[in-house]
């Protein structure tokens, strides 16, 4: 006979294996699922039993693990409630209760016997911080998508009154009709070339450069540190700023929250400011917000737009890299490309990390913007970089006094970014020194080299396939992801490089420059 303790362990393993098949938990590892089960509550709901009642107030959020529920709303003058939608295994509901304490707007009733996980915000906030980040990232992905669809269809672009059939489409998460959405970056396939054209190189060579900073005038880190202020005005990509400004003036920022989030995520400074706002004392967050999507949910779209307007307006008073647009465009393209390649590496390797890999890549060179304000003649040299500038971190120390990794950490600490972003900033050129968050550091280090090898970088760094192969990041990945120990790194690098060549137009096609 099996003991009660052993039987409980078997049940837990079975629960973990079952959750892996639920779409909400894709990407969670066994340890994270075990933690999640420990802080949530299982409910077994008989058919025709109300799970949520309209006009009641509670802070619980539900994940439908198995079964089927219906969402109903009672309209005045109607004897029976109307059916808004039917939810099935993997769907979630009641998510607005995690954001704010508002009354429920509809009934949710079990259509069949259903197994549901009940999650309360107080329980989530006391769990492991990395589990919180992953949970809230998945939660926000679903919530932003649902808000986007609701804005488009229920608010009514043509001023039409919402009707039950429209509501049903909104809450069921159906895809929008053709023509409503702009294609995602995975659908955009404009013509693009890897690296720079001969014409671009000639144009660069003709640009006069300011004098190189004097090494003797560099300052010590102790003197530079107080000059890095979290509220300092930093440059924003003008192409992103222009599209956001036009979008907000036309009112589309409210109607299309998904596009708004996508545009914010194309610029490191705008992304930082939105996250910084969500982490401000005004919102009294017990846990640090680390993603744009979650920050938008917490702050609200209207307030986010006010932050964007203020940031963009202030940025007009400063120029990135002294107005050398070719360097500025290289910087902004490199940031986005590294974030996207880091995500690709994570997905191909099938390695789990709680950090937002895209933002890790987007922020990794943030310190350059801080140093640019202190030494405005340094980065313009990358229009026509000398051999001395191939090792950018070394050159920054020699000419400015500190490298962009340390400057980025100083800035990020003041802004209040989560620790994974700080570790990536500090160690993305030296992954062997990373003692915490080694996987994000390793993936961004590799993404940084792949991007440079394909021509998406400042200057012309001489990164070769052998440099990628020799990276210590592979050792970190093998150490923390055992399945990769069986992989031939040489073959992997060759295959991944070839895939980048094939998909380069998709990776870079929607970057606004």
pLDDT for 37 equals: 81
Report CA dihedral (248, 253, 254, 255) to the nearest 10 degrees: 120
- C-alpha distances out from residue 442 to 351, 430, 474, 488, Å: 12, 9, 7, 17
Per-residue model confidence (pLDDT) at position 27: 72
Q: Write down the pTM of the prediction.
A: 0.65
Model pLDDT, residue 253: 61
Which two three-digit tokens encode residue 136? 């809230």
Give whole-number Cα distances, 258 to 150, 152, 268, 273, 277, in Å: 11, 11, 17, 18, 19
Residues whose CB falls within 8 Å of the CB of residue 300, separated by 6 or more in sequence, listed in order: none
Question: Mean pLDDT across the chain, nearest whole number?
Answer: 82
Residues pairing with 85 in the sheet: 71
* Overall residue count recorded for the chain in this entry: 513
> How many beta carbons lie within 10 A of that of residue 73, not counting itself?
16
Q: Which residues pair with 110 in a beta bridge?
A: 69
| Contact (Cβ atoms closer than 8 angstroms) between residue 28 and residue 352 | yes
**What pLDDT, on the 0 to 100 scale, is given for residue 380?**
94
> How confident is the model at residue 254, as a pLDDT?
67
Vertex 421 angle, CA 143 and 329, to 5°:
90
Q: For 78-146, list the strands marked E by DSSP.
A: 82-88, 92-93, 107-110, 114-119
**Residue 124, pLDDT score:** 62
What distance in Å separates the CA atoms of residue 184 and residue 171, rounded to the nearest whole number?
22
H or E stretch including 43?
A: strand 41-45
Burial 24-33 (b: 16+ CB within 10 A, else e): bbebbbeebb
pLDDT, residue 172, reads 37
Q: Which stretches in the chain have pLDDT values below 70?
A: 1-10, 97-102, 121-133, 142-207, 252-255
The residue whose two tokens read 């303790």 is 5
In terms of DSSP H, where are the helices of 154-230?
Answer: 164-172, 198-205, 221-224
For the record, the structure tokens of 116 come out as 């549901």
Phi, psi of 103, deg, nearest 5: -70, 145
Domains of the chain: 39-127 (2.60.120.10), 321-513 (1.10.3210.10)
Q: Which long-range contacts (CB under 8 A, 24 or more apart) does 317-322 make?
A: 317/233, 318/233, 318/234, 318/235, 318/373, 319/235, 320/235, 320/369, 320/372, 321/372, 321/376, 321/379, 321/380, 322/210, 322/372, 322/376, 322/377, 322/379, 322/380
Give the pLDDT confidence of 50-59 residue by residue, as tens digits.
Answer: 999 888 888 7
């Amino acid at each position: 006979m099996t003991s009660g303790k052993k039987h409980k362990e078997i049940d837990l393993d079975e629960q973990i294996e079952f959750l892996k098949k639920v779409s909400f938990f894709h990407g969670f590892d066994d340890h994270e699922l075990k933690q999640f089960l420990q802080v949530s509550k299982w409910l077994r709901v008989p058919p025709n039993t109300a799970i949520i009642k309209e006009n009641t107030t509670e802070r619980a959020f539900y994940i439908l693990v198995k079964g089927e529920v219906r969402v109903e709303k009672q309209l005045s003058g109607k004897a029976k409630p109307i059916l808004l939608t039917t939810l099935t295994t993997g769907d979630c509901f009641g998510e607005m209760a995690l954001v704010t304490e508002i009354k429920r707007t509809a009934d949710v009733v079990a259509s069949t016997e259903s197994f549901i996980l009940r999650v309360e915000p107080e329980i989530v906030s006391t769990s492991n911080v990395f589990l919180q980040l992953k949970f809230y990232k998945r939660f926000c992905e679903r919530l932003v998508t649902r808000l986007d669809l609701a804005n488009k269809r229920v608010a009514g672009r043509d001023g039409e009154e919402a009707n039950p059939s429209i509501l049903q489409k909104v809450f069921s998460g159906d895809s929008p009709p053709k023509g409503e959405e702009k294609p995602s970056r995975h659908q955009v396939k404009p013509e693009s070339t890897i690296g720079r054209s001969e014409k671009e190189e000639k144009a660069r060579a003709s640009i006069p450069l300011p004098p190189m900073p004097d090494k003797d005038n560099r300052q010590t880190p102790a003197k530079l540190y107080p000059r890095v202020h979290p509220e300092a005005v930093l440059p924003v990509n003008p192409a992103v700023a222009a599209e956001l400004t036009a979008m907000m003036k036309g009112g589309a920022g409210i109607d299309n929250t998904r596009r708004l989030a996508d545009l914010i995520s194309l610029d490191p400074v705008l992304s930082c400011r939105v996250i910084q706002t969500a982490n401000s004392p005004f919102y009294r967050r017990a846990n640090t917000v680390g993603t744009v999507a979650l920050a938008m949910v917490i702050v609200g779209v209207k307030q986010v737009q006010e932050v964007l307007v203020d940031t963009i307006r202030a940025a007009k008073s400063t120029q990135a890299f002294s107005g050398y647009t070719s360097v500025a465009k290289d910087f902004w393209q490199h940031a986005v490309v590294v974030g996207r390649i880091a995500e690709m590496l994570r997905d191909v390797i099938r390695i789990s990390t709680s950090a937002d890999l895209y933002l890790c890549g987007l922020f990794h060179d943030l310190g350059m913007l801080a140093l640019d304000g202190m030494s405005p003649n340094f980065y313009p040299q990358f229009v026509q970089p000398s051999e001395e500038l191939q090792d950018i971190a070394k050159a920054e120390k020699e000419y400015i006094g500190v490298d962009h990794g340390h400057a980025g950490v100083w800035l990020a600490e003041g802004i209040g970014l989560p620790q994974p972003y700080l570790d990536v900033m500090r160690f993305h050129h030296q992954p062997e020194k990373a003692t915490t968050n080694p996987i994000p550091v390793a993936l961004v280090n590799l993404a940084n080299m792949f991007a440079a090898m394909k021509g998406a970088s400042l200057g012309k760094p001489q990164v070769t396939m052998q440099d990628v192969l020799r990276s210590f990041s592979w050792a970190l990945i093998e150490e923390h992801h055992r399945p990769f120990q069986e992989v031939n790194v040489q073959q992997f690098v060759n295959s991944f490089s070839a895939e980048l060549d094939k998909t380069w137009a998709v990776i870079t096609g929607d970057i606004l420059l």
